[in-house]
Amino acid sequence: AIVVATGARTAVGGIGAALASTTEVESGLQRASAGLIRNLTAVALALALALVLLSWLWDGRTLLESLLSGIALAMAILPEEIPVILTVFLALGAWRLSKAKVLTRRVPAVEALGAITVLAVDKTGTLTQNRMQVAELAAGDASFQASESDLPERFHTLVEFAMLATPLDPFDPMEKAIQTFGHARLHGTEHVHDDRSPTRQYDLAPDILAMTRVFATTRPQVYTVATKGAPEAVADLCHLPEAQRQGIAQQVEAMAARGLRVLGVARGTWQAPAQDADWPARQHDFDFAFLGLVGLIDPPRQEVPAAIAQCRAAGVRIVMMTGDHPATARAIAAQVGLSERPDVITGAELDALDDAALRERLRRVDVCARLAPAHKLRLVRALQADGQVVAMTGDGVNDAPALKAADVGIAMGERGTDVAREAAALVLLDDSFASIVQAIRGGRRIFDNITKATRFVFAVHMPIIALALLPALLHWPVLLLPVHIVLLELLIDPACSIVFEAEPAAADVMQRPPRPLAASPFTLGNIGFALLQGLGIAAVLLAGHAALQMATGWSEGDLRLAVFTALVLALFLLILSNRDLHHAALFNLRGDNPWLARMFAFVALVLAAVLLIPGLREVMGFSSVRLPPLVAALGLLVLCGLWLQGLRLAWGRRLA
């Protein structure tokens, strides 16, 4: 053996270099949430410090009371639930995807699933069953269907050399099919040579899509050569005249149009000029005779047509990327409903196009055939440069750079290589196209639920901020102490991180177009609607507090009990109001979320404990429970419900 390259200069090293140069960008949610929390932290600290100084120096309160008010305000402003929401929703989303046979290796990919606009898929094993079988043989003008019982003698040599050009115990499904067919049809004849090992082998190369194996014969220095591969490559090795090549091409087109994957087979001999002569450097240096064609069929998966229809309804375009013959790829695409466009782009055509021309061509082409693995990376980058969000499936070592470059790389779990799985963000445990569609549905549901939870968090924080800040500015008794904020957070956190995470997917989740990749739950429309919800509740509670203070002369403990009880019960309304903007808030009690009733029971239990247990009631600063403050709390709750429903009718439809 002669070492011709080491390290980064080897083929594997080149793949590693391509992987190293392909960087993963921070997700949109990560960027948006980091900026939001940074800005809100600065606002919270500034307002809290201002409130401490104002309360201490201007209002004449003690330093301890002023610090407690400032701490309460800072706790109310800071949305510490946002990191919890992102972490829990994406982690549990990955867990839910695993139940659909999709393993998540990079959690941010869960977010990108809902933004996919193009799904680039391989044909074999993804759209088809990856269970190849020989369906048809062609030798000259004669053809043989595998459904026929006896193999005519004319085809024995074709089958024999197809077997010789194939390893005895192959991994590739196509090669397995050839060996299975050959042993079944040639068993017991002189044509089968189970014990023959090749003296030399020439593997597939980017410039020659054919595999050649050389066998020693009983004659010294004379070798038998068997090759199989792409029909045009084998015909080229045989140096056939143009007329014969055209005839073979027509046969291939006819077989491929029936959905067959077609291989050419040739035989040859080589006479070594001397005992220790060097082997030919290239397959072209052998003399070949063309034997015929082998057509193999890989039936489409039964679930693929329905899954493709779902993708089309969801605005996700499917692009097939395969190494098969263009006619075969086009036939399978038509069978599964992927595309009816006649145009197909091949690897050779791709090499002849510059980037701008390739982007323009890809807008009109859904099938890419005769691709080498290196072509996939260029296709992914061309689609991304055209503004598409690309998910790509792959299984080979050479697919790894493209898998990493895609917005969502999806590796095959059953037949994929370790390198492909390491580079991908998702791994299909069953190699099923339908699992990809389920992942897209799950990604959209997760983003919807993050949006709902974000809206709830901002809405529920507004009355807390108002009740912590305005009494100090208006010289009222302190309504919310830090202990109240802590208790409210204990109720808010499970509501946003558990209840909203368990929300089922909307009925129309797969009838919408993909969302922009830069879309965020923290948009002005979503946050503005949430702030209006919270401001309305804050206004009701503050106005109610002022009215009760003037009309009843209740003690500070009674007023705090009434307002705090109404605020806690308003959590129910905010959860219901933000579940589904298509329905009235009070009609969102449908039972498709198992955590909703549990959450309501938990809130009721906590509220009952702080109202009825004397020690807890004293810590909270409440008076003894009397009926009038509770009635007042229910009255305030009704007004909050009317505000939320009116706001939903006026604005909520725009966000639905």
For 490, other C-beta atoms within 10 Å of its C-beta total: 12
DSSP states of 183-233 = HHHHTTSTT--TT---SEEE--BTTB-EEEEEEE-SSTTEEEEEEEE-HHH
CA 302 to chain centre: 22
- The token pair that represents 450 in the structure block: 């993050």
Contact 277, 80 (CB under 8 A): no
List of residues 6+ apart from 223 with CB closer than 8 A: 199, 214, 215, 216, 217, 269, 270, 271, 272
- Which structure tokens are listed for 546? 């002022």
Task: Determine phi and psi for 493, rounding to 5 degrees.
Answer: -55, -50
Is the CB of residue 447 less than 8 Å from the CB of residue 114? yes
Strand (E) or helix (H) holding 102:
strand 102-104
CA angle 192/195/199 to nearest 5° reads 105
Nearest CA-CA partner of 483 in 53, 27, 69: 69
CA dihedral 375, 377, 379, 383 (to 10 degrees): 180
Give the Cα separation of 259 and 300 in Å (integer).
10
Distances (CA, A) of 421 to 7, 29, 380, 440: 22, 24, 18, 19
Question: Do the Cβ atoms of 68 and 481 come closer than 8 Å?
Answer: yes
Q: Taking the C-alpha atoms of 185, 191, 196 and 199 in order, what is their torsion angle to the nearest 10 degrees?
A: -120
Catalytic residue among 59, 122, 354, 395: 122
Dist CA 185 CA 575 (whole Å):
68
Beta carbons within 8 Å of 76's beta carbon, 6+ residues apart = 461, 464, 465, 468, 469, 480, 485
Instruction: Compute how many other C-beta atoms are within 10 angstroms of the C-beta atom of residue 103.
Output: 16
> Which residues does 203 contact at the CB level (< 8 Å), separation at least 6?
211
Can you say whether the dihedral through the CA atoms of 585, 590, 591, 592 is positive or negative? negative
User: How far lies 3's CA from each of 93, 202, 397, 570, in Å?
Assistant: 48, 18, 22, 75
Does residue 293 sit in helix, strand or coil? strand
Angstrom distance (rounded) from CA 293 to CA 328: 14
**Catalytic annotation present for 122:** yes
Handedness of CA 559, 563, 565, 568 (dihedral sign): negative
Contact 380, 405 (CB under 8 A): yes
Q: At what angle do helices 63-77 and 482-494 cross, to 10 degrees?
A: 10
By annotation, the residues acting in catalysis are 122
